[in-house]
Structure 1
Amino acid sequence: MRIAIIDTSTTRAAIISDGLREAGLTDLVIIDHATGLAAQIERAAPEVVLINLENPSRDMLEDFFA
């Protein structure tokens, strides 16, 4: 299962990805900037998207998947 981690904090993204790897989930994509976010997600083709709720791009993602 491919998981996209979207976070502008590289430290927080690393902590999340380390935890997921420890749980056996290794197909991870870290996206650390919002420029071209929809295209980056489309290229990564994840089954799961994790995004910080404080990230303003979250609203754009809702429109993208609507």
Structure 2
Amino acid sequence: MVDAPFVVILDANVLFPQYVRHLLLYLPRTGLVQLKWTDEILDETMRALAHERPDIPAERLDSLR
């Protein structure tokens, strides 16, 4: 597989909204971008989801990692 021409670092503010997250996570399949994020960004996303959506069980949030 050839590396994508663009590397995009995703921040928590774009990983938080479900529909935006799903769209962005689909983009690497096009071969145009390679997505990156840090553990800190993922932690921030999980904290925001847990705060805004307390109805989501912790196990389900963990499965998003």
TM range (shorter): 0.3 to 0.5
Which structure shows the higher helix fraction?
2
TM-score calculated relative to the size of structure 1: 0.34
TM-score calculated relative to the size of structure 2: 0.35
Query: Which has the higher Rg, Structure 1 or Structure 2?
Result: 2
